Structure 1
Amino acid sequence: MSTKETKEPVNMEEHQEDSLEQETGSDVEQTTQLDDETPAAEEINAENAAITELQRLADDNHSRYLRAQADFDNFRRRTVKEKEELTQYASLKLITQLLPVLDNFQRALQTGGEGSESESFAKGVDMIFRQLSQVLEGEGLKPMESVGQPFDPEFHQAIMQVESEEYDEGIVVEAIQTGYILKDKVIRPAMVKVSG
């Protein structure tokens, strides 16, 4: 007995449904892949935005650091300059107090009378005056040479205006009180008469 294989008839509708399921399955797979890619793209965009924000913050902090460093450098320079000035003018108060002493010595020398006693007195006072002047000059004190110079309100204090044939207008003709400069700073202007 021979057995024949019987072929079952192929149902076309079932075949179409199978192929439709296969196509639909691959569409679902593609959609799933797209869905997987979309959140990844959003994550990348979010991460890029976060990186941009962090970079901006880093740049801001760097700018603040540079400003703070510059402020500190300026503060340090200013402090060093103030310290140098303090050291340079430390004797200012003492010298200011000694200026009237110099004035009195000058007056005593100018009013010295004649005779042997007054002559020796004048020599002694002159010696003290020179000694004191040398000490003060050693500290950086210089008397102003005012007579014959143009009047300058930074260096001179005019107390009188006088007619003068010897000097042009605006020239100091006489110093009533000597002015002094300590290093490069006027500590007392000269009291002067100015030609008018």
Structure 2
Amino acid sequence: MAHSPGDGEGPHTGPDEDLRRLKAEYDNYRRRVHRDRLAVREIAVSNVLSRLLPVLDALDQARAAGEVVDGFGAVADLLEAELGALGLVSFGEPGEPFDPGLHLAVAYTRSAVVTGPVCVEVVRTGYRVGDQLLRPAEVVVAEPPWG
């Protein structure tokens, strides 16, 4: 079938159509590069934050022992604030409903005061960045007694 120059098909489309196609291709390229850069940034941030989790564990242990005071306490607070600004979120609190996607049960008990699986003790805090789980919270879980 023969194509006329103005029908939008075939090898001889007009210069306006060529320009629109080139602009659309460039816009798609620009969006793809932007999306890829964001993905690489998220991966890099997650990798760095994952490496700092033992430091945060040490701070938690020092706080529990009452050793995070004065200047060291100010440094610890600043570190946690800066990591939070990078998107690090801690989770795992007693009383939270147990979620196997976020919590790792390290012990299990029965309790008459709960109506469903609940975290009753946090052994180790969990962390995530955005939707990415860096480490589940290690918890003791209580469930209601059997019938």
* TM-score above 0.5: yes
Task: Select 1:157's aligned residue among 87, 104, 113.
Answer: 104
Take 1:88 and 1:110, find their aligned partners in 2: how far apart are those partners?
31
Matched, 1:189 2:143: no
Aligned to 2:20: none
Which residue in the other structure is 1:28 paired with?
none
C-alpha displacement of 1:142: 1.3
Q: Equivalent pairs: percent with the same residue?
A: 30
**In structure 2, how many angstroms separate the alpha carbons of the residues matched to 1:180 and 1:74?**
34
Alignment partner of 1:166 is 2:120: no
List per-residue Cα deviations over 1:121-144 (Å, max 9, x = no partner).
441443332121111111111111
Q: Work out which of the residue numbers 81, 89, 101 in structure 2 matches 1:134.
A: 81
Question: Quick check: 2:126–2:135 contact (8 Å CA) kept in 1?
Answer: yes
Give the paired residue count: 132
Amino acid at match of 1:123: V
Query: Structure 1 unaligned runs (5+)?
Result: 1-51, 62-69, 113-120
Q: Structure 1 residue 90: deviation in Å?
A: 2.6
Tell me the equivalent position of 2:57: 103
TM-score computed with the length of structure 1 as normaliser? 0.53
Instruction: Give the strand-richer structure, 1 or 2.
Output: 2
| TM-score, normalised with respect to structure 2 | 0.69
Once the two structures are overlaid, the 10-residue window that deviates more, 171-180 or 78-87, is 78-87
**Measured at CA, do residues 59 and 147 of structure 1 come closer, stay the same or move farther in structure 2, by a change above 3 Å?**
same
SS at match of 1:158: strand
- Deviations along 1:57-89, one digit per CA (max 9) or x if unpaired, are x9688xxxxxxxx99977764443222122244
Kindly provide the amino acid, as one letter, of the partner of residue 143 in structure 1. Answer: S
Give the 3 Å change call, closer, same or farther, for CA 146–109 of structure 1 in structure 2. Answer: closer
- Greater helix proportion: 1
- Is the CA contact (8 Å cut-off) linking 1:167 and 1:173 kept in structure 2? no
Query: What's the secondary structure of 1:168's corresponding residue?
Result: coil
Amino acid paired to 1:141: L
2: distance between equivalents of 1:72 and 1:103?
A: 47
